[in-house]
Amino acid sequence: MQALNRVKVGLFIPCYVDQFYPRVGIASLELLEKLGCQVVFPTTQTCCGQPMANSGFENMTGACNQLFLDSFSDCDYVVSPSGSCILHLKEHMKVAGKENQSKILRAKVFELVEFLTDILKIKEIKSEFPYRVGLHQGCHGQRGLLLAQMSELNAPAYSKPLGLLRKVKGLELVDLDRADECCGFGGTFCVSEEAISVKMGKDRVADHIRNGAEFITGSDMSCLMHLEGILRRRESKVKVIHIAEILNGSYITAPALS
Amino acid sequence: MSKPKMDHATASEAFNKDENYVDWHDETLWFVRQKRDKASKVLPEWEALREAGSQIKHYVLSHLDELLIQFEKNAQQNGVRVHWASDADEHNAIVLDLLRKHQITQMVKSKSMLTEECHMNEYLAANGIEVIDTDLGERIVQLREEPPSHIVLPAIHLKKKDIGDLFHTHLGTEAGATDPQYLTEAARQHLRDKFVTRRAALTGVNFAVAETGGFVVATNEGNADMGAHLADIHIACMGFEKIIPKQEHLGVFLRLLARSATGQPITTYSSHFKTPRPGQEMHMVILDNNRSVQLGRPDFRNSLKCIRCGACMNTCPVYRRSGGHSYHNAVAGPIGSILAPNLDMTKNADLPFASTLCGSCSNVCPVKIDIHDQLYKWRQVLAQQGHVPKAKQMGIKAMSVVLSQPRFYQWSGRIGRTLMRSVPFMVNNGLNPWFKQREMPEPPQESFRDWYVRNRQD
């Protein structure tokens, strides 16, 4: 842990998390600080560029890429509480004329769970969360960043997010009928294919509820935002919570689950 | 070509009118996906098999010229007549010409997605030829006058009651009957008569072996054999990518195909055809139909590795909830969405966007096609070539302008959140597709950035 005091971790907070879920940014920051990292949040950052690129307009992501490169090039690591944004950056972040610098930066980019597990290699978590929790495994984190084994493959099971959640005191994990089915958010898909997006989300929510979850967690707030929209519309008592909030123990003001 | 009657999103919305039906459709296909999981997980070498299949096909795609000529030579030596068709029209004309030469007006056909791609049945019907599909599922959708909704399970979108009603109308079964055995028996008797009386049979091809000139057709019903063995003329049709170099490679592909498709260790019939029997004519029609264009696209050529198992459809969370017809293309689902734009970009521009890019398709693919990456790449091509709606393009452009300037972004975010709090109706209305069935996130007073500046920088 000592060495980490000297490494500089740049915190990348996705645009929609910055605007709608500041608590997730705060939890990520506090958690990394508690674990001994020197964390900075360059305020010149905006977005990873994925909303444009996934819509077919990767050619409109030049400015985002430039901002990202300028904001984070002097960091030892870049960490973000979003598997989807990180996957996009790892695969596509490139500034014309600065190919080598881009490549070096892409290799330093980590999703939060990945960073905690593979770089910090944390052994214990001082957090308590006495609730039944279902893990929503975001697809880009899983199938892109390999945060967990994929049910399609004939390969040994593992899960980095579950590994972390199992260290949380009092937390009871809920098994799902479909462990890694997509929630249907899908970026602009959520509005351009509204009917399917919502149906997929309803089915995911139903799986968690059927199996007794009080909270749905995950490391991608975009999936959780979509699932939350569906839960709130049906006035469900089930809540979404980002994994950083659980690990940071920041859910101390939990509303009574009456 | 023109746009489809309904794009994927519109057709999906219509499909989702009856939620119980969608649940049933989803569960039915998920069941097939689970069977595939079980069948693949009992083989310790499964992932190595996929890799082998992928590599063999890789070899095929880079040696197509040699392999096709080798196949033609060997097939001709076996007594098979080989025809080359550059597009669907040529393909259909070749088949019609063969039938006319023999004064044949009725033909049986086993499953061939290629003939769906060429709209051959419609063409032959317009030219006075009656085609009877002999695969049970295919026959069902043919009687309903609709295309198959799935390449392996053509009538998977129908319930037992739908089949009962259909057979009551067309085959004279008892009204209200839904017993699968009873209905299947009725279809069997109906088809037996066609098999015995038809002089021509058309089959698809799963694998054509260059070193032997033979080909393999996999079915579960034996209908390809029944048709081909009874007919005076057997016409087999395939896309040129169906070629494999050696007989021994079938050991890889036949194991992959059935397990991926339905979870069976092998299809009930894996029929090897090589030489016509005395007095019979055997023809092979080999089709390009833009495959050579796809082969020339480095980002998309791997899509030609496809062995048409349908696993990507069964696993696709979108396909399971939108149904095969929503893809308005002979091949539906994820693989259809990367093949279709090559056939017609205008008509099929919506399909690469009918995905969340979750990546499950690429993981089940027995020949390891990077389907979801190709969906992403097709989106770029379609946007560049002007196939994305103008309104969407302008929205994306506006978003990119905001996100290009940190201060403008901060300012817009603050204004946006303030408006959402003070005049929620501005977003919570019928014009916002998000809000239709979902609540908007609750806008906080302060962004993370504001909090950070206040708490860490001051």
Residue type, B86: S
The CATH number for B70's domain is 3.40.50.10420
The interface residues of chain A toward chain B in range 211-230, judged by CB-CB distance below 8 A, are: 225-226, 228-230
Mean pLDDT, rounded, for A74-87: 97
Alpha-carbon dihedral sign for residues B366, B367, B368, B371:
negative
> What angle, rounded to 10 degrees, do the helices at B333-343 and B371-384 form?
30
pTM of the predicted model as reported, rounded to 2 decimal places: 0.96
| Minimal C-alpha gap between A223 and chain B (Å) | 11
Give the pLDDT confidence of A160-185 residue by residue, as tens digits.
999 999 999 999 999 999 999 999 99
Partners of B30 on chain A (C-beta within 8 Å) are 178
Does A164 fall in a domain?
yes
**Nearest-angstrom CA–CA distance, A50 and A53:** 5
Same domain, B106 and B246: yes
Per-residue pLDDT of chain B (458 residues; tens, 9 = 90+): 567 789 999 999 999 999 999 999 999 999 999 999 999 999 999 999 999 999 999 999 999 999 999 999 999 999 999 999 999 999 999 999 999 999 999 999 999 999 999 999 999 999 999 999 999 999 999 999 999 999 999 999 999 999 999 999 999 999 999 999 999 999 999 999 999 999 999 999 999 999 999 999 999 999 999 999 999 999 999 999 999 999 999 999 999 999 999 999 999 999 999 999 999 999 999 999 999 999 999 999 999 999 999 999 999 999 999 999 999 999 999 999 999 999 999 999 999 999 999 999 999 999 999 999 999 999 999 999 999 999 899 999 999 999 999 999 999 999 999 989 888 888 888 889 999 999 999 999 999 999 999 999 87
Last residue of a domain, one of A97, A119, A141: A119
3-class DSSP state for residue A128?
strand
Last residue of a domain, one of A89, A119, A149: A119
User: Is B204 within 8 Å of B111 (Cβ atoms)?
Assistant: yes
Nearest to A233 among B8, B47, B438 (CB): B438
Partners of B406 on chain A (C-beta within 8 Å) are 43-46, 67
The CATH number for A87's domain is 3.40.50
**Nearest-angstrom CA–CA distance, A10 and A7:** 10
Alpha helices by DSSP H, listed for A93-242, are 99-106, 112-114, 139, 160-165, 189-192, 194-210, 221-233
The interface residues of chain B toward chain A in range 342-361, judged by CB-CB distance below 8 A, are: 353-360
Same domain, B314 and B273: no
Is any Cβ of chain B less than 8 angstroms from the Cβ of A107?
no
DSSP strands (E only) in B94-139: 106-109, 130-133
Is any Cβ of chain A less than 8 angstroms from the Cβ of B21?
no
Does A177 fall in a domain?
yes
Same domain, A89 and A149: no
Does A126 fall in a domain?
no
Partners of A190 on chain B (C-beta within 8 Å) are 434
Does A90 fall in a domain?
yes
Same domain, B21 and B54: no
Same domain, A156 and A44: no
Last residue of a domain, one of B289, B319, B346: B289
Domain that holds residue B204: 43-289
Q: What average pLDDT does chain A have?
A: 94
In a 13 Å sphere around the CA of B371, the CA atoms on its Cβ side amount to 34
Task: Report how many domains make up chain A.
Answer: 2
Q: What is the CA radius of gyration of chain A?
A: 18
Same domain, B254 and B234: yes
Q: What is the pLDDT of residue A5?
A: 64
Domain that holds residue A236: 132-253
Same domain, B230 and B209: yes
Partners of B442 on chain A (C-beta within 8 Å) are 20
Work out the angle at residue B354's Cα, subtended by the Cα atoms of residues B353 and B359, and round it to the nearest 5 degrees.
Answer: 90
CB neighbour class for B361 (10 Å; exposed up to 12, middle 13-18, buried from 19): buried
User: Hey, which residues does A148 pair with through a beta bridge?
Assistant: A159
Last residue of a domain, one of A86, A119, A152: A119
Does B15 fall in a domain?
yes
Does A258 fall in a domain?
no
- B199: Cβ contacts below 8 Å, ≥ 6 apart: B102, B104, B106, B231, B232, B233
Is any Cβ of chain B less than 8 angstroms from the Cβ of A154?
yes
Q: Is the pLDDT of residue A253 over 70?
A: no
Task: Report how many domains make up chain B.
Answer: 3
Same domain, B256 and B355: no
DSSP strands (E only) in B373-428: none
Same domain, B126 and B173: yes
Does B82 fall in a domain?
yes
3-class DSSP state for residue B174?
coil
Does A127 fall in a domain?
no
Does A242 fall in a domain?
yes
Last residue of a domain, one of B388, B405, B432: B388
| Best residue in A21, A33, A46 for a mutation probing chain B (most B CBs within 10 Å) | A46
Residue type, A106: R
User: Is A134 within 8 Å of A227 (Cβ atoms)?
Assistant: no
Does B135 fall in a domain?
yes
**Nearest-angstrom CA–CA distance, B376 and A170:** 41
Does B303 fall in a domain?
no
**Nearest-angstrom CA–CA distance, B301 and B235:** 28
Same domain, B345 and B421: no
Q: Is the pLDDT of residue A2 over 50?
A: no
Q: What is the pLDDT of residue A250?
A: 75
Q: How many CB pairs under 8 A join A and B?
A: 217
Chain B residue with CA closest to A66: the answer is B404
User: Hey, which residues does A218 pair with through a beta bridge?
Assistant: A242
Give the pLDDT confidence of A224-242 residue by residue, as tens digits.
999 999 999 999 999 999 9
Same domain, B151 and B268: yes
Residue A212: left if φ>0, alpha if ψ -120 to 50, beta else—which one? left
Q: What is the pLDDT of residue B112?
A: 96
Q: Is the pLDDT of residue A112 over 70?
A: yes
Nearest Cα to Cα of residue A88 among A24, A42, A136, A138? A138
Tokens representing residue B255 in the block = 């194991």
Residue type, A247: L
Nearest to B322 among A24, A56, A196 (CB): A196
Does B347 fall in a domain?
yes
Does B296 fall in a domain?
no
CB contact under 8 A, B359 and A144: yes
